[in-house]
Amino acid sequence: MKQLILIALILLCGCKRHSRHSMVSIETEASENDALAYLDEMIESGEANQLTYFKRAEVNLKLNNYSRALIDVQKSLELDPTYQESYLLQSQILFNKGDIQQSINSALQAEQRGLRNYELYKLLAINYLKLNEADNAEKAIQRLLDFNYSAENLSLKGDIYLSLKDTATAISSYTKAIDVSPELPRPYESLYQIYKYKNPTLAERYISSYLNKNDDNQSFLLLQADIYANRKSYDSAISIYKNLKEVVDTSSVLLNNMSLYYYQLNQYDTALMLAKNSLLSDSITNREAQLLVARSLDNLREYNESKLYYEALVKYDSTDAIALDELDKLNRKIAYLWRLQQQERTFDSIRTSAPPVVERKDVNQ
């Protein structure tokens, strides 16, 4: 394996300018870490050239070492500022670092130097979409589709037109994506999100259509559970959640959902247990779980414990109108029950106490 790496790197660093594109994509059977070690050694020994730094930047990008990758690609550009692929690689690194505007600038530098390929226009389209520059994203996606008329790119086109509030064109793009590749989940989910409020029946049809092809897709099964819950078919939603127990148990959001479903079925003990499990991962900011715990305890007539949870919510956010209102109602309920209890004690005391002794007067006196 070491010999294979060494041969690849010798070829990479010794190749001529006209063969760079083929050498950049050299693949070896070595892991990225092995390749990185050899590239480090070559650079430290002074045997490096522009392609060595370029290749190390690629490897560091694959290893998520974005800062190191950026340093290497900048060094590659210093050694040869005309190399188009270096600008594209720089754009990819900046994208992964979250520097979207600079990523666009680097991609445009690559285009200005004559680069025209699928990766470039896909990156530009995604970047512009992230910056809400839908017009520029639209231009990039059209170029992208010229290179590759794929379901993924049609779905991306749908995203762009949706951001432009052109829902009709977005829907058309998503449906074309499904026609091209019925196995791609993304357009089905996008269409579900479009229709779930204005046409729930059609929204459900898209989820069911995908599940008919991939009945074990967890994301779509959870969407199916949401559909059942919106219909108030809580038992059906719970059934799906039970089948996805490993996923549900690791998500406070899903635990909250399941707790709510049981709460709606008046199964307060189970709702309480699930909400408390949700709080184990996040007891401070998990407001929904705290409300579910407080409400379940209230319905189980554990009023004092319920009050503690409401007070914790109000302490965390004194403007929480729902918690304040429900705490006020609970306090009034507790006060009312206390008064009833005091009245009952008074009545019990009267009933159980001995009657007063009546002194009889002698009528003969």
Place of tokens 């394996």: 1
Domain count, the chain: 1
Place of tokens 């992964």: 96
Please check whether residue 127 lies inside any domain of the structure: no
Please check whether residue 183 lies inside any domain of the structure: yes
Range of the domain at 193: 166-230
Please check whether residue 40 lies inside any domain of the structure: no
Between CA 294 and CA 313 the distance in angstroms is 10
Comparing 69-78, 131-140, 172-181, the range with the smallest average pLDDT is 131-140
Residue 24 in this model has a pLDDT that exceeds 70:
no
Please check whether residue 196 lies inside any domain of the structure: yes
Q: Across the chain, what does the average pLDDT equal?
A: 87
Please check whether residue 249 lies inside any domain of the structure: no
Is the Cβ–Cβ distance between 122 and 144 less than 8 Å?
yes
DSSP, res 116: -
Please check whether residue 73 lies inside any domain of the structure: no
Taking alpha carbons only, the member of 212, 204, 154, 159 closest to residue 179 is 154
Q: What is the pLDDT of residue 324?
A: 96
Q: Spell out the residues 6+ positions from residue 118 whose beta carbon is closer than 8 angstroms to its own.
A: 144, 147, 148
Q: What is the pLDDT of residue 27?
A: 45
Q: What is the pLDDT of residue 14?
A: 42
Q: What average pLDDT score do residues 88-97 get?
A: 97
pLDDT tens column, 51-84: 999 999 999 999 999 999 999 999 999 999 999 9
Between CA 155 and CA 170 the distance in angstroms is 8
* DSSP labels, 216-250: T-HHHHHHHHHHHHHTT-HHHHHHHHHHTHHHHTT
Please check whether residue 159 lies inside any domain of the structure: no
Please check whether residue 193 lies inside any domain of the structure: yes
